[in-house]
Structure formats: structure tokens, C-alpha cells
Amino acid sequence: MGSEGRDADTPYPHTRVVLDWAELDPAKLERVVKMLVRAACGATGIDGSGGDGSQDLRHDGPDGLTIYEVKSFTRRLTTSQRRQVARSLAGAVTQHAPARWVLVIPLDPTPAELAWFDKLRTQHPHVFLEWFGRDWLDGQIAGREDLISYVEGAQYKVLRRAAQHAQERAALATGTDYLQRVEDLHALGGTISPFWRWDVQDSPIGPATMLTAQTPDAATADPVSINTQFTFPAGDPDADEARAVLQRWLRSGGDVEIDGRFIEDVQVLASSEATQRLLGEPSRQVSSVRLITVPDTTDLPLHCTLALETAAPPPGGVGVAVPAAHGPDEPERGLPSVPFAFTERIVAPHGVALTGADPSGLLLGRVQGGVDESEGTELNLSMAPLAGRYPHDALPAIAFLAACRPGTRLVFKQGPVVLTSYDAGGEALANVDYLHNLIAALEVLQNHLGQLVPIPTDPPAGREAGELMAVASALTGTPGLLPYDGLSAPIVAGQIGQLLNSVPTVPGALYGAPDAFPLTLGDTTYKVPGLAMWSPGMQLINREQLQALAADEQAGRPVAPAVAQFACVGEHKAYLIRAVDDLGEPYLAVPGLPGRR
């Protein structure tokens, strides 16, 4: 190894490095030469572990096939070595009929060797023969400090650091100096290994130092492995939970973290000495290990239809966790289907999964299988969080889940072609019927109001849910049962006596049409017009209180705002209905109450 002048591709001056090819290990020499040929000529390397078929590299171009034969001979060619070259050429011509054959060797030919090579040209007149020697290799490796570091090992790293020392001690005068030094350091870091380098990139856990491939074949040419040894003490509940988390990840992937007290050792191992220098010491002590499977989107998305059918079960899937929403006595109805797209593939150590969703992104599906296809697959359907979404987006997904029941099958189809299917029996999604009814009611409400009504963070319950369902029923033409056994209404000031005179003392039907029915969902109150409160049997229950207030009112004394309170009698209930303009007999107007009576 020597140095001379500054090379345009080297990050520090006076450090242009050349290789002494004759001192290299033959196996490593051939590997580096192959990498140079691939980079310069676009050739593809051939794995020779089972015999390379007289081709170390090949390139199929517009002018025909070119075969590259790499030899690690660094001294003058002996008779035996010449025979080896001739046999390789003859084998390539016989087996592959190349248009061009190139001998790549770290040796420039002498006149005698060139004459011998010309004889080979004469023997194979239909093949164009070339000799890529030391001059060609020196030109290709110039500036490739990653390959030089790979070949010469740790000693090269020490010498480069010595050359860098003066640069690191120099003062920073400007921001440009700083940026240039950072750029130079990053470039120098890329020379430690020809296959890998460290980069700072965004990751699922934020900015992180990432091991990045420098060549397309890095994972196979110089694989890196992380070997983690876990220990889970018996009788420790935390250890049992950590073991379960790890086992789920091994089968299903995802993003999990294992605490360091359950980790005995972590080893990061590279195949080459250069990459191991890049990685550092193999054994590590860690506070935790985070395991993340990176989704694969090759050949995805896969667009299809998810349909619910009553067909007899064909062979295939082995189970599904979806709701069974309806009883066996419910009459048959049209079964729903939704568009569906699988968008990610998750490959875990012990399993493979496809995940996707319907167009709303709310109906989530995961097809999980083992590494062995004979194990079959499972389908899990679930709902994404609904808060803040709109009912018209969520209704197709929740209606689909609500329709799943024993005796039906979930079928993934592309047109008429069935991709796979699963029995829809299994554990029901909690409250699926309840959610379905609420979301359907919200859609009726927003259509009536002509405005978007987002799904509340907390699903309506109790009185809120009862009023919502009553509103939706009334708007669709069916009396909606209100969740209370009475009604109250403010009395217009000065009209308490008139109200008492007009309301019979015996129970009777009551109809009241306010300007708008107030419906509260979460933190929002909606004014719903066009509705009336009605009961076939109600009675005024605070008549005595109102009589006293009426007397004060008649005497001119101040009267606090009054409220008329009505209660249902017997088995009668209170309902919401569509408001009507004229009820006719026997309904009589009640003065003193606001709204349309």
C-alpha cells in the first residue's frame, strides 16, 4: 500500500491508496475483482459453490452475451495456469456460446503472454476475447476505499485515521468547514466495509442510526445476523408476560420491546472482518431489545371483495374471530359485501401475515399463517377506532360485522374467482349490534340535519343513546320510545292559569311539537326540527304547585319561572314522532306552552 497526491474521490488530501495485488489472499482478491466488474460492466455474479459452469460473471447486452472469467494469478503465467484459462474459455464457448469473453486478472500481459492469448483468439474466431489486467483493475479501484479497507483490514483503518488526525484537529472557521468535515467523515465511514455503512435515518422509533446496504447483494454477499439469548425465570409473572410477548412476535411480528433483565446476551455478527469492524464488538449488553418487523409491500396492494355468503364451506381457512350478531330464527336477508385491499405483508420468524382494510380504513383484516403452508391460515376481523369518523364512512364496515353469524362464510374474491374463505362463526366483537344501531341512527340524524355528525369519542349510552334512537326512529316514520316516563315543559310567563284551565284533571293523550328537539351527544347539542313528543296516556302531576303560582300571578305577586310536569300513567310511554300540522279532534291546544301545540 502506498500514497500519492490527492484523488478527487478521496476525502482527505495526499492519501490516494493503491493495492499490492500480489500480496492479497486469492479468495478475497477474486471477490473484490468480481465486485469491480459488477460495478463497471453491469455484470451478474454466478455462485460457483456448485460449479460456475465456466462463467464467473455474465452480462446479457444488446450485442450478445459477455462472460467474465476471474483469475487470481499475480505472477507470470505458468503452463498449468495457461491450461486453466484455456479450459475455462473452451467450457464457456461450448456451454454458453458468448459473443465476448473477458479474462480479468491482476496481471498485465508480457509479449509472450499476449502472443499466447492471440492464439486463443485464433482458436475461437467467433468470440471476441479481451484481457482486463492490472492497469484496468487499478483504474477501477481508484477511490474505492471501501474495497481497499475490506481487503487490507484493520491496518488500513489505522493508517487512514492517522492521515485524518491533522484534519480533525484543525479549527472550524465557518459553517461550510463544519459541513465539509461532516461530509468527509460520512464518506470515510462508508469506506470501512464495501457492503454496509452507518446512516442516521428516520425509523419507526424516530431518528436512529441505521445499518444501510451499500450494494444490492449486501444481504447475501456479507450477511449480518443478530443473535439474542433470552432467559425467563420460572415463577416470575413479568417473565411469563415477556415470554408470551416474544412468542406472539415470533409468529405474528409487530413492534414489541423486551426488558434487558430477560436478555442474557446479544451478539451482532458479520460475515466479513471489514463489516465486523464497522459493527464493533460482537457481544453487547443492552437495557432492552425492541423487535420490529418491517412490512413488505411487494406485489401489493391486492384488491378484492370481502363478501358474506351462505354457501357450503369449501376446504381452506381454519377459523375467524368475528361477531355472530343474529339469532338462528332471524329471517334471511341480503348479505353484505365490501371492497377490500391487502396492503402489507408481515414476515415474522415463525409466520407470515397479510393485512388490509376496506376503503374507509375501519374494517381491518389480518390473514395469519405459519411458515409451513400446510398449517393453514386464520382470519381476524376488527374495527379501527371510530371516534371522530363520520357515520356514512363507518356504516358499511360495522354493518358487515353485524351481519356475520354462524352458518355464513367470509369469502375473499376477485370477480368470480374465490381467493380464500373462512367460517364466520366465532367470538363476537363486543357490542357490535349496539354500535351498528347507534351508527345507523347517527347517519339518519346527519342526513336530516344536512350537516356532518362525527361519531363521539365515547359512544352514547343511557339517556343519550335512548334519545338518539328515538330521534332516528321518528325520522324514519316509526314512533321512537323516549328513555323516560314523563315530560316537562316551561310555561310562558303570565299564562299558568290558562294552562291549568285547558289541561284536564284526568289522564289523556299529550302531543307537543317544540321548535327543535335538543339532542346532546358528548359535548355537542344538536337542534333537531320537525319532531313532536307524544304519549297516549299522561297526566299533569304538579297541578297543586301550579295552582299556587297561578294565584300569585293573578294577585300580581312576582312568580318564578314555572314548569309543567307530565307523567305517563299505566303502561303508557312517551314517544317521539314526526310533527304534523293539524291533529284534529280530540286534541285541543294548550296555551302557555312554547312551540307548536
Assess whether 275 and 310 both reside in one domain: no
In which domain, by residue range, is 58 found? 2-155
Last residue of a domain, which of 155, 189, 213?
155
Assess whether 140 and 277 both reside in one domain: no
Q: List CB contacts of 86: < 8 A, sequence separation 6 or more.
A: 120
What is the pairing mode between strands 64-70 and 100-104?
Answer: parallel
pLDDT of residue 143: 74
Reported pTM: 0.61
What is the pairing mode between strands 100-104 and 128-132?
Answer: parallel
Assess whether 135 and 34 both reside in one domain: yes
Assess whether 383 and 495 both reside in one domain: no
| 466 within domain boundaries | no
pLDDT tens, position by position, for the chain (597 residues)? Answer: 444 433 434 444 444 455 678 777 788 888 889 989 998 999 988 877 656 678 899 999 899 999 999 998 988 899 999 999 999 999 999 999 999 999 999 999 999 999 999 999 999 999 999 999 999 998 888 877 777 767 666 555 444 544 454 555 555 567 777 677 777 777 777 778 888 888 877 766 667 788 888 888 888 888 999 899 999 999 999 999 999 999 999 988 889 999 989 999 899 998 888 888 888 888 878 888 888 888 889 999 999 999 999 855 444 444 333 443 444 333 345 799 999 999 999 998 898 999 999 999 999 999 998 877 677 889 999 999 999 999 999 999 999 999 988 888 999 999 999 999 998 866 556 688 899 999 999 999 999 999 999 999 998 999 999 999 999 999 999 999 999 998 888 888 889 999 899 888 999 888 888 889 999 998 999 999 999 999 999 999 999 999 999 999 999 898 899 999 999 999 999 999 998 866 666 566 676 666 544
Three cell numbers at 284?
A: 453487547
CA separation for the pair 145, 192 (Å, rounded): 8
Last residue of a domain, which of 292, 314, 332?
292
Assess whether 384 and 517 both reside in one domain: no
pLDDT of residue 313: 47
Assess whether 325 and 429 both reside in one domain: yes
Assess whether 112 and 212 both reside in one domain: no
Assess whether 148 and 7 both reside in one domain: yes
For the domain that residue 16 is a member of, what is the CATH number? Answer: 3.40.1350
Q: List CB contacts of 131: < 8 A, sequence separation 6 or more.
A: 102, 103, 105, 109, 114, 117
| 441 within domain boundaries | no
CA separation for the pair 525, 519 (Å, rounded): 5
The length of the chain is 597
Assess whether 309 and 281 both reside in one domain: no
